[in-house]
Structure formats: C-alpha cells, structure tokens
Structure 1
Amino acid sequence: MPVSLLWAVDVYGRVYSLSTAGQQWEQCHDTQMEFKRVAAAQQCCWGIACDNNIYLNVHASDLPVRYQEETYENQRWNPVDGFSERLLPSDRWQWSDVTGLQHQPMDSFQLPSHSWEWEGDWYADENFEGEPTEKGGWSYAIDFPATYTKDKKWNSCVRRRRWLRYRRYKAMDTWAKIPSQQSSLPDPFSDISCGGWEINEEPRGRLSLWAVSLQGKVWFREGIYHHNPEGCLWEEVPLPGEVVQISCGPEDLVWAVLWEGQLIVREGVGRDCPKGSSWTVVDSPSPGVGAIHVAVGNNVVWALTKDNKVWFRRGVNSHNPCGSGWLNMVGEMIMVNVGLNDQVFAISCEDRAGVLPTRCDLQ
C-alpha cells in the first residue's frame, strides 16, 4: 500500500504532515510562512497563506515535471530566392502555431513563473509523424494549409518545420507562490479544496481545485495536470447564494455551505466538464440550525451544524450526488474530513483530541 499523508495547519499557521509510515507529526520546511488552509492530493498540496496568496507544494518523484513548447517556422518558394521567409499577404505568419492562425515567434515564449526553468535552447524537430526527415526537419506541401510530407516534390511551394523547447518545474518539496496571471484577481480566498483526480485518467495528473473568497464567491482553477501543476487561471462559478466553505472528493462530488446554513451540490461534474454545470440546494440537516462545514469523499458526504452535531448523508453516488436524507451520528465535533477510501477524520468538540486545533486534509 503506498504511503499517504495527513496534512494539517495549527492555530499559529504552521503546516504539519503525518505519514502512514511514521509515528509523529512533522513540520513542513518553510517555517517562515504561515497558512490558513491546506488541501492535499496524492502528488501535491495546495495552501492559502496568511499573505492571502495561493501556494503549491509539489512532491518530488522519479518522474520529472516537463512541458514541451513548440512553434512552427513557415516558408514559401519563389523563383528568385527559393524557399524563404518572404510569404504572401494571405499566408500564415512566418512563426506560428500548428494551425498557422496564431503568431508565435520564439522570443514570445516566457516561463509561467519562477518555479520553472528552461532545459535548453530551441532545436528543430527532425522527425515527421514518427519518421526521420532530411536534415533541417522540413516538411513540404503544395500550399497553406494542406497535407504535409517529409519528401520534397516538384510542386512543393511551401514548407514548415517544428521547433521545440522544454521547460522543467523546479520547485519540488517547497511552497511556491501561484502567479495571478489575471489583471483583476478576486478578493482573498478563505477556503480551498482539491480533488477530481479519479474522474478520468487523461490528461495525467488532472486535478480540480475549488476556492471560496471572502465575499462568498466560488472559483475554479483551470488547466491543472501533471505537465502544468500550477494550472492556468481562475474562473468564477455562478452561485445561488454566498458560500462559506467548499469540499470536493476524488471523483465528481462537490458540496459547499451557504451563509444561511443550507448546502449546495454541484451537478454535471464529469470528464468533459470538470467544473460542472449547475447547483442544487439541499436543506440543513437540522431544522433551524444551519450547517457550518461539509466534507465529501468518493461516495460519502459528512456535515457539521452550528450545534456541533455530526451528520451523514445517505444515498450519495455519482448518479445521485444530492443523496436521499440525513442521518445524525454520535458525538460532537468542530471539524470533520474525508480521506482516501472514504476514511473519516474528525476533531472532538470537547478536548479537540486527534490533532491540534486545525483544518486538515488527507492525501
């Protein structure tokens, strides 16, 4: 069985992890940073720091995180110069993407953040559809766009070649700040949850990251997968009310708590739509007592109400994410969470036994 970690934040903002292969809590390396929340997946841990920025801690592994950048050089033949960069006004850019519609000169490629580094310089790809080309990597066609071939023919009027460059993610086993990459960011985040890694196998390492802002808005982080662990940008998700806390499971379950104490369930989450399509409102487990916290797993949902009562949602699955009813459980808790294999972890209301006074997430 692979080693898994329990992540936690204490009241002083210090982050700890507890391994299934260990016996005690270990404090994370960046002792100068203070965190409010953490949310863990198998390959990484996300956190909201006290400076209101989002940070990512990618666990080092034998498989490096590399990304391939590519651009295409396009040329046209003319009787005076032969093949040259002198293209027709109706042609594509001299440097473009594979479609020819987007201008992509080499110097336009920038590293996404300080967490990346270039492995080397640009080089021409001398392979075409799995077969080697002539030196230089050119492929030929009658015109743009057309079917290309690695062999030059008498009517080959245009040619192109692909240039490649690789960048590597270097910020392993440390907290790296996520760049905003947006001109207007939402107000500071107050809660964060990641999951969705079991929705589909491709692209590899895909994650769903949900966040709640202080104004009660919900945001979804687009484009998180193995070759792009930071994701691309935040997208606001419309809501039926103001949210205070959110939780998503390894598959397609996403639940959130509204300010009024009701809960909402995300419908339509799937392989082709990881952020879902709509919300359904679910009443609080206890009449007159609002919910304050929710935690979901593969096929389970747990909730806490303001009187610290613990509730279990019956009948929850991928076909019925809302479930069928609430069941009151024994005990009073201030926090509950669901980890791998739907294992439940909670902090007692009386003596806070189990862990320090924290918010935590299982990896």
Structure 2
Amino acid sequence: MPISLLWAVDVHGRVYSLSTAGQQWERCHDAQMEFKRVTAARQCCWGIACDNKIYLNVHASDLPVRYQEEAYENQRWNPVDGFSERLLPSDRWQWSDVTGLQHQPLDSFQLPSSSWEWEGDWYADENFEGEPTEKGGWTYAIDFPATYTKDKKWNSCVRRRRWLRYRRYKAMDTWVKIPSQQTSLPDPFSDISCGGWEITEEPRGRLSLWAVSLQGKMWFREGICHHNPEGSLWEEIPLPGEVVQISCGPGDLVWAVLWEGQLIVREGIGRDCPKGTSWTVVDSPTPDVGAIHVAVGVNVVWAVTKDNKLWFRRGVNSHNPCGSGWLSMVGEMIMINVGLNDQVWGISWEDRAVYFRQGVTSSELSGKTWKVISVPRDGDRSQSRASTSSLQRRSCEYFFMLCTMCVLTQYI
C-alpha cells in the first residue's frame, strides 16, 4: 500500500519523517548538515540548509531518472570524396542539434552536476521513425533542411545521423546541493515551498519550486521535471513588497506573507504558465495584527497572525484563488502546513506539540478538531526509564518547524 510521510525539522536542524506505517519519528541520518526548512513532493524532498543553500533529496524508485542526449552528424556529397564532413559555407554545422542551427560537437556535452553519471559512450541510432536504417544510421535528403528518408537515392546530396548518449541521476536518497547554473547567485534563501504537480501531466514529474530570500525577494526554479529533478535556473519574480514566507499547493494556489503582515496571491498560474502572471494583495484577517504564516492546499488556505490566532479562508478554488473572507478558528499555532487531501498540520503555541486537524473532508474543508501526534522520536525508545509522558514531551518540543507531507509511491 502507498506510504504517506510527514517531514519535519527540529530546533537542532535535524530532519525527521513520520510514516503512516511507522510508530516513531525516523531521523534522516543521511543529512550531514543542519537544515532550516524542508518541503516535499511525491518524488523528492527539498531543503534549505543552515548555509542558506538549497539541497535536493530524490527518493529512490523502480523508475530510474535518465535523460537522452542527442547530436546530429551532417555530411554532404561531393564528386571527389563522396559523402564527407566538407560542407558548403551556407550549410549547417558538421555536428549540430536537430535543427542544424546550434553547434553541438560530442565533446561539448557535460554532466549537469556531480549527481549525474554517463551510462555509456555515444552510439549511432540505427532506427528512423520506428524502422531500421542501413548500418551506421544514416538518413538521406536532397538538401539541408529537407525531408529525410532511410533510403539513399540518386539525388541524395546530403545525409545525417543521430548520435545518442544516456545519463543517469545517481544521487538517490541523499541530500545534494543543487547547482545554480548562474554566474550570479540569488540572495541566501530563508523559505521554500514546492507543489504544482497537479497543474499538468506533461512534462512528466513537473514541479513548481518557490523560494524566498533573506532580502525579501522571491525566486522560481525553472525546468523541474522527472528527467531534470534539479531544474535549470532561478528566475526572480517581481513583488509588490518584501516577502517573508511562501506556500505552494499541489495545484495552482500560491500565497505569500509580506513583511507588513499582508498576504499576496499569485494569479494566472496554468499549464503553460506555472509561475503565474501577477499578484493580488489580500488583507490580514485582523487589520491591526498582521499575518506571519500561510499554508495552502488544493482548495484551502490557512493563516496564522502575529498573536498566534488561527484563520481559515473561505471560498478558495482555482477560479477564485483569493477566496472570499476569513473565519476565526479554535487554536493558537506557531506555524501550520497543508498536506495531501487538504489535511492540516500545525505546531501549537502552548506546548510546541505537533497537531493534525481531524474531520477534514471535501464537504468540510476546515475540519472539526485538533489532535496531538504523540509518538516518540528515533532514539527515544531505547531509554526505557523515561516515562511515556516525558517521551511525548521531548518528542514534541523539538519540532519547531513543520514541513510538507508527501506520498512516496512505495509498496510493502
């Protein structure tokens, strides 16, 4: 059966997870550094370490992360040498991409980071549109560019063949720093949130990753998908003010908290524009007390104000991401988060314990009551002399930051 995991970070920067199939918080012993934030999706977990850099942990699965690199070798026929690499000045490069416009020699391909490895060497693809070609993989045409065929004809003046090489992501179940792919790094990060996997099915495994810097700026990580789990580059998103915290749901909901305590909602998020187009400002639940934390799901938005009061946003959906008004909820929290199926989790202001919201359904998204999670941490069970109450207290007091719940597609 599928296993659900709740991820958390304690005050010492240690990462833990709580499984639906387990009986205690399990420490992520692979992490050799201290973390400040983590956020999770089905296939991976992202985190901000205490060096303010972002790290990625891709969960191992039966489906490997592989990417196919390709380059095209182009030749022209001449009466002296036959087909050769001697091309006309107006022709494409000898080694190019599929369009012929970009120069791509085989030795120009580099691994994106140390988390990748080559599976083998380059080889000529001897298949063309599902059919085998002659030995060597050449396809022929009258000129560049034109329609290619696998059969050589009397007027075939040019030919090309595709070369393939595969690379595999090898850093499974371990924390690795993602490369910046930029000459100038963004500001140090202070908050992070991933989601957006329900926006579109293509490309497979696409995620939206949002980050907030210590300077109150916001960044969006481009190009995250199954065959590129690290993404490509950071793009700064213009803001109406300085942001202190952000939350991204599995769909098209993205909310953030401004320094002044107001909230902003990202508009225009869709399949062709995962980072959206504009911001709308939403007032804090109470005008004289600003918000300090927000958490979103598919159709829910929860907020915590500076007096630790808890609020639920009515009428939130894809057509109305801003919702229609605030409802005051019972409980005082330091921070909250929304997991799968709009389930809500929080850390109590009074006892610092981790709670989850009971009675959350599609017809009653706000739920009914709070229930404490009273399970020990990894290592606490070995101390047999400790009482049950002390184990519960020590387990709860360490989880000062609660993070996103995710589902790992594992079967046991």
TM range (shorter): over 0.9
Q: Distance in 2 between matches of 1:329 and 1:361?
A: 27
- Structure 2: gaps spanning 5 or more residues: 354-403
Once the two structures are TM-superposed, the CA of residue 30 in structure 1 deviates from its matched residue by 2.5
1:56 and 1:201 map into 2 onto residues whose CA distance is 22
Q: Distance in 1 between matches of 2:316 and 2:405?
A: 24
Partner of 1:359: 405
Secondary structure at the counterpart of residue 201 of structure 2: coil
Q: How far, CA to CA, are the matches of 1:179 and 1:266 in structure 2?
A: 27
- 2:58 aligned with 1:58: yes
Give 3-state SS (helix, strand or coil) of 2:293's partner. Answer: strand
> What are the superposed Cα offsets for residues 32-89 of structure 1, whole Å, 9 maximum, x if unpaired?
3100100000110000011121100000000000000000000000000000000001
Quote the Cα distance in structure 2 between the aligned partners of 1:288 and 1:154.
83
Residue 108 of structure 1: how far off its partner (Å): 0.4
Alignment deviations for residues 196-249 of structure 1 (CA, whole Å, 9 cap, x no partner): 001111111110000000110100000000001000000001111110000000
Q: What is the alpha-carbon distance in structure 2 between the residues aligned to residue 242 and residue 147 of structure 1?
A: 54
**Structure-2 separation of matches of 1:189 and 1:236:** 12
* Deviation for aligned residue 1:292: 0.4
Secondary structure, counterpart of 1:341 in structure 2 = helix
User: Post-superposition shift, 1:170?
Assistant: 0.3
Give 1:361 shift. Answer: 11
* In 2, Cα distance between equivalents of 1:286 and 1:120: 61
- Cα distance in structure 1, aligned partners of 2:407 and 2:179: 23
3-state SS of 1:201 partner:
coil
- The question of whether the paired residues in 2 share the 8 Å contact of 1:92 and 1:101 is answered with yes
Q: What's the counterpart of residue 234 of structure 1?
A: 234
CA contact (8 A) 2:43 2:58 kept: yes
- Cα gap change, 1:158 to 1:4, in 2 (>3 Å): same
The 3 A distance-change label for structure 1 pair 150 and 361 is closer
Across the aligned residues of Structure 1 and Structure 2, the Cα RMSD in angstroms comes to 1.5
| 1:194 alignment partner in structure 2 | 194
Judged with a 3 Å threshold, the aligned counterparts in structure 2 of structure 1 residues 158 and 360 are, in CA distance, closer, same or farther, namely closer
2:294–2:303 contact (8 Å) kept in structure 1: yes
Q: Is contact 2:139-2:148 (8 Å) kept?
A: yes
1:79–1:116 CA distance, 2 compared to 1 (3 A): same
User: Partners of 1:14 and 1:261 in 2: how far apart?
Assistant: 29
Gapped regions of structure 1 (runs ≥ 5): none
State how far apart, in whole Å, the 1-side matches of 2:407 and 2:273 are: 24
Q: By how many angstroms is 1:305 displaced?
A: 0.3
CA separation in 2, counterparts of 1:254 and 1:59? 25
Distance (Å, rounded) in 2 between the aligned partners of 1:56 and 1:220: 15
Write the distance in 1 (CA, Å) between the matches of 2:216 and 2:206: 26
Give me the whole-angstrom Cα distance separating, in 2, the residues matched to 1:270 and 1:196. 9
The structure-2 alpha-carbon separation of the partners of 1:359 and 1:201, relative to structure 1 and needing over 3 Å to count, comes to closer
**Hey, what's the Cα distance between the residues in 2 that align with 1:336 and 1:361?**
18
The whole-number CA distance in structure 2 between the counterparts of 1:334 and 1:29 is 27
3-state SS, counterpart of residue 3 of structure 2: coil
The answer (yes or no) to whether the contact 1:36–1:47 under 8 Å persists in 2 is yes
Contact 1:140–1:150, Cα closer than 8 Å, also in 2: yes
Judged with a 3 Å threshold, the aligned counterparts in structure 2 of structure 1 residues 361 and 50 are, in CA distance, closer, same or farther, namely farther
User: What's the CA shift for 1:20?
Assistant: 1.0
Deviation at 1:360, TM superposition (A): 11
Aligned mates of 2:211, 2:91 — CA distance in 1: 44
Cα distance in structure 1, aligned partners of 2:99 and 2:407: 43
Does the 8 Å contact 1:263/1:291 carry over to 2? Answer: yes
Alignment of 1:157-176 (within 5 A): 157-176=157-176
Q: Is the 8 A contact 1:297 1:339 kept in 2?
A: yes
For residues 28 and 75 of structure 1, the distance between their equivalents in structure 2, rounded to whole angstroms, comes to 54
Aligned to 1:149: 149
| 8 Å CA contact retained: 2:340, 2:406 | no
C-alpha contact (below 8 Å) 1:249/1:298 kept by paired residues: yes
Contact 1:7 1:361 in 2 (8 A): no
Q: Once the 2 structures are TM-superposed, how far is the Cα of residue 287 of structure 1 from its aligned partner?
A: 1.4
Greater relative contact order (CA < 8 Å, ≥ 6 in sequence): 2
CA distance in 2, matches of 1:105, 1:96: 7
Partner of 2:382: none
The 4+ residue runs of structure 1 with deviation greater than 6 A are 358-362
Aligned counterparts of 2:122 and 2:148: Cα–Cα separation in 1: 22
Deviation at 1:177, TM superposition (A): 1.0
2-structure distance, mates of 1:117, 1:360: 28
How far 1:2 moved relative to its partner?
1.4
- Matched residue, 2:103: 103
Shift of 1:31: 4.4
In 1, Cα distance between the equivalents of 2:202 and 2:180?
Answer: 26
CA separation of 1:340 and 1:162: change in aligned 2, threshold 3 A: same
Cα distance 1:349–1:262, how it changes in 2: closer, same or farther (>3 A)? same
TM-score after normalising by structure 1: 0.97
User: What whole-Å deviation, never above 9, does each CA across 1:316-362 have from its counterpart, x for those lacking one?
Assistant: 00000000000000011001110000000011100011xxxx99999
Given that 2:265 and 2:279 are in contact with CA atoms closer than 8 Å, whether structure 1 keeps it comes out as yes
Distance 2:406 2:149 in 1: 56
Cα drift, residue 186 of structure 1? 1.1
Cα deviation for residue 145 of structure 1 reads 0.5
Give the C-alpha shift of residue 312 in structure 1.
0.4
Q: Is the contact made by 2:339 and 2:405 (CA closer than 8 Å) also made in structure 1?
A: no
The 8 Å contact of residues 295 and 302 in structure 2, kept in 1 or not, is answered as: yes
1:216-295 paired onto structure 2 within 5 Å: 216-295=216-295
The answer on 1:73 being equivalent to 2:73 is yes
The answer (yes or no) to whether the contact 1:245–1:293 under 8 Å persists in 2 is yes
Contact 1:9–1:360 at 8 Å: present in 2 too? no
Separation in structure 2 between the aligned mates of residue 198 and residue 19 of structure 1, nearest angstrom: 23
